[in-house]
Structure 1
Amino acid sequence: MKDFSTELTFKTSRSSGAGGQNVNKVETSVTVMWKVSASEFFSEEEKELISQKLKNRINLDGILQITVSDSRTQLQNRKIAVERITELVNKSLIKPKPRKSTKPSKAQIEKRLDTKKKLSAKKDNRRFRPDL
Structure 2
Amino acid sequence: MHNALIFPMAAHVALAALLYVLLTVARAPAVWGIGRRVDGGNPWADVEPRISANLSNQFEWPLFFHAACLALLPFPPGPMTLALAWLFVAGRVLHSTVQILTRNVRLRGIVFTLNFLAVLGLWVEAVGTWSR
TM exceeds 0.5?
no
Of Structure 1 and Structure 2, which has the larger fraction of its residues in helix? 2
Of Structure 1 and Structure 2, which has the larger fraction of its residues in strand? 1
Larger RCO, structure (CA 8 Å, separation 6 or more): 2
